[in-house]
């Protein structure tokens, strides 16, 4: 039996890892984006006593290697009597880490928006949350779609680090088959193919979002 035949006979292991990776990615991406949006909203017009801690959190996450954060959540928190499963620790670390990056991306675009929009929205009776959700945030997403897409791909790749804390994702599946059958080259070629497939789907989604942005006047975003 050839190496490729061995992998084909063990395809269920890959599909399980693929499903876990996609699930972790989708949950983390949505939650991280929501966290980043919330942070940007909280920093708008915030008092210095609130804005400064938020900036420290964002900058702290951006300066911290993700692997260390994942280690802290899974291996460090039990010393504080806080025990998370591998999935909980991995997803929580991804959300906090990439939420900070999303916040910085959105904040950078936020400062370029005209203040006249806020004045017009206030005159029309919009509350601050409604104005942010319905007027400001859609523009920020469309303007930053390229950078957002890159950050999503980075988030996808960071899911591979979760093998260190025993999450059974794609890299763990390849490691398992590689150590069992001693076929590391073929196993990881398959994993690369899965990651490429997900990344290509993300790129297509970003392009569709770009077309929507062009229809709404953000062709130069």
| pLDDT for residue 71 is more than 90 | yes
DSSP tag of 2:
-
| Residue-level pLDDT at 73 | 95
- For residue range 170-181, what is the model confidence (pLDDT) as tens digits? 898 888 888 878
| Residue-level pLDDT at 221 | 45
The CATH fold assigned to 3-215 is MetI-like fold (1.10.3720)
Counted residue by residue, the chain has a size of 221
| pLDDT confidence tier of residue 63, bands split at 50, 70 and 90 | very high
- Could you tell me if 178 and 187 are in contact, meaning their C-beta atoms sit under 8 angstroms apart? yes
- For residue range 141-172, what is the model confidence (pLDDT) as tens digits? 888 888 999 999 999 999 999 999 989 898 98
**How crowded is residue 57: how many other Cβ atoms within 10 Å of its Cβ?**
15
Give me the torsion for CA of 44, 114, 139, 54, rounded to 10°: -20
Nearest alpha-carbon partner for 102 in 57, 65, 135: 57
| pLDDT confidence tier of residue 4, bands split at 50, 70 and 90 | confident
| Residue-level pLDDT at 21 | 95
Q: Which residue has the higher pLDDT, 219 or 166?
A: 166
Nearest alpha-carbon partner for 26 in 147, 201, 143, 174: 201
| pLDDT for residue 124 is more than 90 | no
| pLDDT confidence tier of residue 1, bands split at 50, 70 and 90 | low
Q: 3-class SS at 156?
A: helix
| Residue-level pLDDT at 218 | 56
- Could you tell me if 148 and 139 are in contact, meaning their C-beta atoms sit under 8 angstroms apart? no
- Mean model confidence pLDDT for the chain: 87
| pLDDT confidence tier of residue 127, bands split at 50, 70 and 90 | confident
Most confident range (mean pLDDT) of 69-83, 112-126, 207-221 is 69-83
| pLDDT confidence tier of residue 216, bands split at 50, 70 and 90 | low
Nearest alpha-carbon partner for 98 in 42, 44, 52, 34: 34
| pLDDT for residue 37 is more than 90 | yes
């Amino acid at each position: 039996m050839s190496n490729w035949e061995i992998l084909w006979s063990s395809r269920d292991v890959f599909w399980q890892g693929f499903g876990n990776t996609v699930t972790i990615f989708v949950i983390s991406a949505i939650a991280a984006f929501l966290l980043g949006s919330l942070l940007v909203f909280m920093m708008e017009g915030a008092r210095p006593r609130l804005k400064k801690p938020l900036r420290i959190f964002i900058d702290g996450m951006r300066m911290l290697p993700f692997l260390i954060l994942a280690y802290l959540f899974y291996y460090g928190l039990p010393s504080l009597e806080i025990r998370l499963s591998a999935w909980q620790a991995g997803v929580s670390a991804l959300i906090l880490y990439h939420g900070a990056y999303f916040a910085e991306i959105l904040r950078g675009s936020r400062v370029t928006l005209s203040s006249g929009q806020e004045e017009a929205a206030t005159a029309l009776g919009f509350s601050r949350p409604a104005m942010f959700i319905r007027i400001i945030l859609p523009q920020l997403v469309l303007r930053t779609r390229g950078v957002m897409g890159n950050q999503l791909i980075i988030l996808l790749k960071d899911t591979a680090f979760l093998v260190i804390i025993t999450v059974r994702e794609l890299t763990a599946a390849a490691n398992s088959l590689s150590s069992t059958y001693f076929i590391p080259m073929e196993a990881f070629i398959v994993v690369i193919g899965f990651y490429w497939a997900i990344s290509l789907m993300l790129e297509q989604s970003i392009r569709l979002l770009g077309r929507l942005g062009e229809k709404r006047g953000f062709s130069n975003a």
